[in-house]
Amino acid sequence: MPGSLPGVLFDGVAYGSLLFLISVGLSVTMGLMNFINLAHGAFAMAGGYVCAVAMNRLGIPFVATLPLAFLAGAVAGGILESLLYRRLYRRSPLDQVLFSLGLTLMSVAAATWVFGPGSQPVHLPDFLLGQVRVAGVDLGAYRLFLVAVVSLIALALIASLRMTKAGARIRASVDDAQAAAGLGIDVGRVFALTFTLGSALSALGGALSIDVFGLDPTFPLKYLVYFLLVVVVGGSGSIAGSLLASMVLGVLDVVGKYYVPQIGAFVIYGLMIALLLLSPGGLRRMAR
Amino acid sequence: MSAAGRVPDARWRPAELVFWAAAVAVYFVFPHHLVLASQILITGLFALSLDLILGYAGIVSLGHAAMFGSGAYAAGLLAHHGWGEPVSGLLAGGAAGAALAFATSFVALRGGDLTRLMVTLGIGLMAYEVANQAASITGGVDGLSDVAMGKLLGLFAFDLGGRTAYVYSLAVLFAVFCLSRRIVNSPFGLSLRGIRDRSARMPALGAPVSLRLTAVYTVAGGIAGIAGALLAQTTQFVGLETLGFSRSADLLIMLVLGGAGWLYGGMVGAAAFLVAQDLLSGMNPVYWQFWLGLLLVLAVFFVPGGIVGTLAGAQLRRLEARR
Amino acid sequence: MNVPRIAFAFALAATLIAARGAPAAEPLKIGVIAEFSGPFAGYGKQMHNGIKAFIRQHGDTVAGRKVEIILKDTTGPAPEVAKRLAQDLVTQDKVDFLAGFGLTPNALAVAPLATQAKTPMIVMNAASSVITTRSPYVARLSMTLPQVTAPMAQWAAKNGIRRVYSIVSDYAPGIDAETTFAKTFQAQGGEVVGSVRVPLKNPDFAPFVQRAKDARPQAVFIFVPAGEQGIAFVKAFTERGLREAGIKLIGSGDVVDDDVLEAMGDATLGVITTHHYSAAHDSPENAAFKKAYAEANGTGSRPNFMAVAGYDGMAAIYAVAKKLDGKIDADQAMAALKGLALQSPRGPIHIDPETRDIVQTVYVRKVERTKAGLYNVEFDRFADVKDPGK
Amino acid sequence: MTAVLRTEKLSRSWGALAAVREVSFALEAGARHALIGPNGAGKTTLVNLLTGALSPSGGEVFLDGDRITRVPQHVRVRRGMARTFQITALFPNLTVLETVLLAACEQGGLCWSWLSPVARHAREIAEARRIVRELHLEDEMDVRTRILPYGKQRLLEIAVALASRPRVLLLDEPAAGIPKSESAEIFEVLARLPKDVAILFIEHDMDLVFRFADRVTVLAAGSMLAEGTPAEIAANARVREVYLGEAAHA
């Protein structure tokens, strides 16, 4: 059994990287605009369906559908942000919960109407199937691909936030929107940009997750708890915090299920409560 | 020199009497819909308990179903093992809910809104898992069946049409509502509203904040347990869903839809939500959730502060404008 | 005396009587309680498709009464909602039959009500053995988990499989499957080298499959609810390379359910399962059923075991209605159901008089690619299997 | 003259920053004691240490001779220590009367009574009405604090503190943000308070300090620079040099 620990750890990292990709957008939305957007999973689902339709009906190869999913998420995010979300930034968190849950219910029903209740098949290209032997350990090819893509995205995100002017503007707005506005930063545009980016990332995450999570209309509700876990444990608004939290939760969830399947579910929930109580601000407070 | 100065008192306003008269009238006007009506009353009682902690003490919870479910299982197990007397089952349910609330209050009440949201969510999910793992006792996913109820007060059996269930639920709801009304209008209630508005200031007034929150959280847990017991007794079945995440999430939606902080918001929200759900799913069994979602989104834009919030708020503003 | 008012009252009474019409013309109402929205929406859809296929084939009137189907959505495992919907159907719509029940908790919640309201209840999917014991007015036309699992254990033991690792979903049907398989397999000299129960709400099977691979069994026995869980499991099974390691995959037919088999693709080739219905079953009844199914529901979806249960449920109701000449009395209906034999698209079936549960042939099948696509091709059978769970 | 509130080498530091450095000071019964010093001298930190909002890194605090260093804030209030806040911290949805009434009920230990309506506690209501009238807020009795003008909110801050029937009243810049004309009105109210209430107040406006205080403590960079009557402090060269800038009256 212990022989496969590296394999299990790798699975955890792959699972964590998927959680990160989908929830990083939510983390920034909640951190930047402190808007509790429970409908964030719906953007991931939209990305998933765009990828599934492109692949199954239009015959576009899987890898090529990823940018499409990213764009679809961005467009959906941009439209919804300007039409609906923008009016609710100053509303109470409870109104935001009511609004986003309502939106989620609509997205679930709409997806059922258009795509039917069943789940979408995805046919991965051959080079992503099966296993690859790396340093004596069998690693899932698709999971390797996942970890690679997500690490690239994470690096790009962290670098752009740290290095570029736009990144600085976003970080300023995250810390204090009023002060940032005082400096002449058009916080409204920054919100829109970030929300769109967050939705696009989530859509990309949705497309990448079909193979692991499966894709059916109830996706946004089914994994809502996992996305919230990452955001709150990681500390909303922090990319590094979300990355750390995703990895911790991913690894421990997989390890828990492998070694102690009977109490597997408790591991995650117990961990979340413990982490939250240790540092209410989440890992971001620790990571700083 | 206006000697006015309104102070919280227990006087019944005319609008309240109309509300309760309507609740009694439902028994006669809708004889065939009493099963749905009693489930609305039970959900209203459950929403009342969330209103106590959210509307009055500012405690956000996404796992309130844990207390509801523990009350349902307590009453269900009692009846399952032969003790079918309803009222004592109800008290057992209340005690179970209060006990679980007290035990988890040390964890659930720390940190800000977002932390509380997630910790209570975690507690709810763990309660669900415990009940699922303890399948030998709770029946797990299959649920606890043959919850054999004795006659209410030894006189009224639980009939098929839901008549006894409705009267029983209404009586319990009204009793607990009066108790809540007292709590909310008492000095204790006033201190809760202080904690909700600015808990940081309360210690400077001499208030032991965490003790107060634990007290109201436990009382609310007891009320949620009673609501759970009521559902177990009137449907004579206890499923895992009494602890489920969607029950807590729907509850939060109903309270916000109705308007938190007015005691009536939970009940009005529950009635609106469940009636809409029943009608919509009757019309279109597969896609009704779309229209329900739309209803919620529209409510946020056009009925800010919830149904009761908008009505009562308007009256309050008229009062202040006239001054 | 003002004559006009009396005359008016008299006229009103007359029209009312006329409107009621002869009692026999009353429609035969069937209340179908199932999951039409939420994660199990596929269950309700397939059952309803099976019902529509039957009506398409046999017309919508029986014993002079027009059949009326009333759909009620439980949204998922929600016992108090199912019970409330049943109470509405019985008290308001005054249905003659309750039917459907995709999930066990909903069936268990409604069973006591069937007794109280004396309304026959036809179960078209929920598979826990205990359901028919909960009310004398329940009859099942689908299957029970032990019934379709025991043959798998017997077949495995007889075909050189000695060491099996079992993986099941952690809920009542899953536990039924695990215990039945272990009991039967060990009785035949087989050895269950390990077993694990996977949480029902589980996004990822990889760690469990890896654990099974490390136990190096000859075969993995799997039970998961039909639908997307099957897809996720088979994907993890292939990706972990258990097939390359020579580990066979066996289980109840749920994991390779006709509804999702095509979506799973070639990863399922060679998987051996036991189940009571396969869309590829070769019989004139099945061919007629598939034609009616396509006409009623379009060619988009393929009938699965839930559709055939819906179809046979209607066949049972029509048989009872004919026998009682349209006047449905609950006790007479149950008497008619006991021992009722039908020539179902899946093969000959009959209702066991004592347990009112279904007795049917369970087939051993292997997933093969036929001209018409991926199908579970039956190659062995266990005739007239009673539910070992009772 | 017994000291009702006394500290011994009270200090508080965050890492390297020593906000309050070993301050030993006494507040006499019935005193009108001003606490002055430049911004960042540690005045508010000291008040937070006295009221228990902040726990000290070292030193002791005594109330009527009993050690209360580790006693939580709400217990100190029940033992007669009330305070106001430099930045108003009131209850947006409570009306003026409800706010003062809440403080009165808390002080009476009444807030654990959860069945009798507030209306039934006539004694606390009368007390609250009296305080509201005394602070010229009777016209705004039913107005929610959220829509109360800023000046009235400052008065309400004081009313809430008085409703706790304090023997020691700590005022953190009671007249902060109030134009000159109105701030005098606030200090008249404070002057009319009974002699058995000891008041320690932080104030920047020197006219007010010298008009109302009978004793002054000067803090600078966390430690006590000087203490004495207003006249002594005005004459103190070091105070003038540190606090009033260069040697003013050369």
> How wide is the angle at C-alpha A27 spanned by C-alphas A21 and A30, nearest 5°?
150
Distance of CA A39 to the CA centre of its chain: 12
Query: Is residue A262 pLDDT above 60, yes or no?
Result: yes
- Could A118 and C259 be called an inter-chain contact, meaning their C-beta atoms sit closer than 8 Å? yes
Interface test with B, best of D105, D131, D132, D169 (most B CBs within 10 A): D105
Residues C210, A194: Cα–Cα separation, whole Å: 39
Give residue A1's pLDDT.
40
Nearest neighbour of D83 by CB, restricted to B10, B204, B323: B204
Average pLDDT over chain B reads 89
pLDDT tens-digit map of A93-113: 888 888 998 999 999 999 988
What's phi and psi for B224, nearest 5 deg?
-65, -40
Percent share of chain A, pLDDT over 90: 14
In a domain, B19, yes or no: no
Residues in a beta bridge with C375: C368
Q: Note whether C132 contacts B: Cβ–Cβ < 8 A.
A: no
Give residue C220's pLDDT.
94
Nearest residue in B to A103, CA atom:
B293
Give residue D236's pLDDT.
86
In a domain, B20, yes or no: no
pLDDT tens-digit map of B142-162: 788 778 888 888 888 888 778
Task: Report the SS3 class of residue C58.
Answer: helix
Q: Which residues contact C23 (CB under 8 A, 6 or more apart)?
A: none
Write out the residue range of the structural domain in which residue B65 sits. 26-322
Residues A174, A32: Cα–Cα separation, whole Å: 4
Contact present, B306 and B256 (Cβ < 8 Å): yes
For the complex shown, is ipTM > 0.90? no
Give residue A263's pLDDT.
75
Q: Note whether D103 contacts B: Cβ–Cβ < 8 A.
A: yes
- Could B205 and D164 be called an inter-chain contact, meaning their C-beta atoms sit closer than 8 Å? yes
Residues B268, B310: Cα–Cα separation, whole Å: 12
Chains with 3 or more CB pairs under 8 A to chain D: B
Distance to chain A for C262, nearest Cα, Å: 8
> How wide is the angle at C-alpha C198 spanned by C-alphas C194 and C204, nearest 5°?
115
- Could A30 and B133 be called an inter-chain contact, meaning their C-beta atoms sit closer than 8 Å? no
Distance of CA B32 to the CA centre of its chain: 24
Residues B230, B246: Cα–Cα separation, whole Å: 19
Cβ pairs bridging B and D (under 8 Å): 139
Average pLDDT over chain C reads 88
Contact present, C263 and A120 (Cβ < 8 Å): yes
Q: Would you tell me how many other CB atoms lie within 10 Å of the CB of residue B174?
A: 15
Give residue B157's pLDDT.
85
In a domain, B283, yes or no: yes
Find chain A residues with C-beta within 8 A of C193's C-beta. Answer: none
- Could B119 and A104 be called an inter-chain contact, meaning their C-beta atoms sit closer than 8 Å? no
Contact present, C225 and B141 (Cβ < 8 Å): no
In a domain, B227, yes or no: yes
Find chain B residues with C-beta within 8 A of D120's C-beta. Answer: 9
Among D75, D96, D113, CA closest to B207: D75
* CATH code (residue B228): 1.10.3470
Query: Is residue A265 pLDDT above 80, yes or no?
Result: no
Contact present, C112 and B146 (Cβ < 8 Å): yes
Nearest neighbour of A265 by CB, restricted to B129, B289, B300: B129
Task: Report the SS3 class of residue C184.
Answer: helix
Alpha helices in B134-208 (DSSP H): 135-138, 163-185, 187-198
B318 — pLDDT class (breaks 50, 70, 90): confident
- Could B252 and A94 be called an inter-chain contact, meaning their C-beta atoms sit closer than 8 Å? yes
Chains with 3 or more CB pairs under 8 A to chain A: B, C
All residue ranges of chain D with pLDDT < 70 are 1, 243-250
In a domain, B127, yes or no: yes
Residues A49, A51: Cα–Cα separation, whole Å: 5
B314 residue type, one letter: A
Q: Note whether C77 contacts B: Cβ–Cβ < 8 A.
A: yes
Distance of CA C359 to the CA centre of its chain: 13
The single residue listed with the structure tokens 């449920």 is: C313
A186 — pLDDT class (breaks 50, 70, 90): confident
Give residue C13's pLDDT.
54
Give residue D248's pLDDT.
44
pLDDT tens-digit map of A161-181: 888 888 888 878 777 778 888
Among B216, B188, B182, CA closest to B58: B216
Which segments within D111-236 are labelled E, that is strand? Answer: 168-172, 198-202, 215-220, 223-228
B 225-284 residues with CB < 8 A to C: 231, 235-241, 281-282
Contact present, C58 and C20 (Cβ < 8 Å): no
No. of helices (H) and no. of strands (E), chain C: 12, 15
In a domain, B5, yes or no: no
- Could C109 and B143 be called an inter-chain contact, meaning their C-beta atoms sit closer than 8 Å? yes
Query: Is residue C291 pLDDT above 80, yes or no?
Result: yes
Integer Rg of chain C from CA? 23
Give residue D247's pLDDT.
45
Query: Is residue A238 pLDDT above 90, yes or no?
Result: no
> How wide is the angle at C-alpha D116 spanned by C-alphas D115 and D118, nearest 5°?
125
Percent share of chain B, pLDDT over 90: 52
Chains with 3 or more CB pairs under 8 A to chain C: A, B
Q: Which domains does chain D have, with CATH numbers?
A: 1-80+166-250 (3.40.50.300), 90-165 (no CATH)
Query: Is residue C25 pLDDT above 80, yes or no?
Result: no
In a domain, B6, yes or no: no
Residues C215, C228: Cα–Cα separation, whole Å: 26
- A118 CB-contact burial (10 Å; exposed 0-12 / middle 13-18 / buried 19+): buried
Q: What is the mean pLDDT of residues C213-220?
A: 91
Give residue C22's pLDDT.
45
- Could A102 and B297 be called an inter-chain contact, meaning their C-beta atoms sit closer than 8 Å? yes
Q: What is the mean pLDDT of residues A81-90?
A: 87
pLDDT tens-digit map of C220-240: 999 998 887 888 888 888 878
Find chain B residues with C-beta within 8 A of C389's C-beta. Answer: none
Query: Is residue A45 pLDDT above 90, yes or no?
Result: yes
Give residue A285's pLDDT.
54
Residues A158, A149: Cα–Cα separation, whole Å: 14
Distance to chain C for A175, nearest Cα, Å: 35
Average pLDDT over chain A reads 83
Q: b vs e for C162-198, b when ≥16 Cβ sit within 10 Å of the residue's Cβ?
A: eebbbbbbbbbbbbbbbbbbbebbeeeebebeebbbb
Q: Which residues contact C160 (CB under 8 A, 6 or more apart)?
A: none
Q: b vs e for A159-186, b when ≥16 Cβ sit within 10 Å of the residue's Cβ?
A: eebeeeeeeebbbbbbeebeebeeeebe
Q: What is the mean pLDDT of residues B300-321?
A: 81
Q: Note whether D16 contacts B: Cβ–Cβ < 8 A.
A: no
Nearest neighbour of D164 by CB, restricted to B7, B198, B206: B206
Distance to chain B for A30, nearest Cα, Å: 10
Query: Is residue C390 pLDDT above 80, yes or no?
Result: no
Q: Which residues contact D15 (CB under 8 A, 6 or more apart)?
A: none
Distance to chain C for A75, nearest Cα, Å: 27
Greater pLDDT, B317 or B18: B18
Q: What is the mean pLDDT of residues C263-292?
A: 90
Contact present, C112 and B148 (Cβ < 8 Å): no
Nearest residue in A to B305, CA atom:
A95
A283 — pLDDT class (breaks 50, 70, 90): low
Give residue A98's pLDDT.
87
Q: How many domains does chain B have?
A: 1
Left, alpha or beta for B263 (phi > 0: left; psi -120 to 50: alpha)? Answer: left
Q: Note whether A271 contacts B: Cβ–Cβ < 8 A.
A: no
Q: Note whether C73 contacts B: Cβ–Cβ < 8 A.
A: yes
D in contact with C (at least 3 C-beta pairs within 8 A):
no
Give residue A178's pLDDT.
81
Q: Which domains does chain A have, with CATH numbers?
A: 2-115+128-287 (1.10.3470)
Nearest residue in D to B6, CA atom:
D142
Give residue B26's pLDDT.
92
pLDDT tens-digit map of C83-98: 889 988 998 889 999 9
Residues of B with CB under 8 A from a CB of D: 1-2, 4-10, 182-183, 185-191, 193-194, 196-198, 200-209, 212, 320, 323
Give residue B40's pLDDT.
95
Nearest residue in A to C238, CA atom:
A130
Contact present, A210 and A120 (Cβ < 8 Å): yes
Distance to chain B for C182, nearest Cα, Å: 19
Among D61, D41, D86, D36, CA closest to D216: D36
Contact present, A215 and C260 (Cβ < 8 Å): no
D98 residue type, one letter: E
Find chain B residues with C-beta within 8 A of C172's C-beta. Answer: 135, 140-142
pLDDT tens-digit map of C35-70: 998 888 889 999 999 999 999 999 999 989 999 999
Q: Which residues contact B22 (CB under 8 A, 6 or more apart)?
A: none
Distance of CA B33 to the CA centre of its chain: 21
Q: Would you tell me how many other CB atoms lie within 10 Å of the CB of residue C110?
A: 33
A48 — pLDDT class (breaks 50, 70, 90): very high
Q: Which domains does chain C have, with CATH numbers?
A: 25-143+282-356 (3.40.50.2300), 146-275+363-385 (3.40.50.2300)
Nearest neighbour of B293 by CB, restricted to A91, A103, A262: A103
Contact present, C273 and C380 (Cβ < 8 Å): no
B2 — pLDDT class (breaks 50, 70, 90): very low
Residues A235, A229: Cα–Cα separation, whole Å: 10
Residues in chain C: 390
Contact present, C131 and C98 (Cβ < 8 Å): no
Nearest neighbour of D115 by CB, restricted to B2, B182, B207: B182
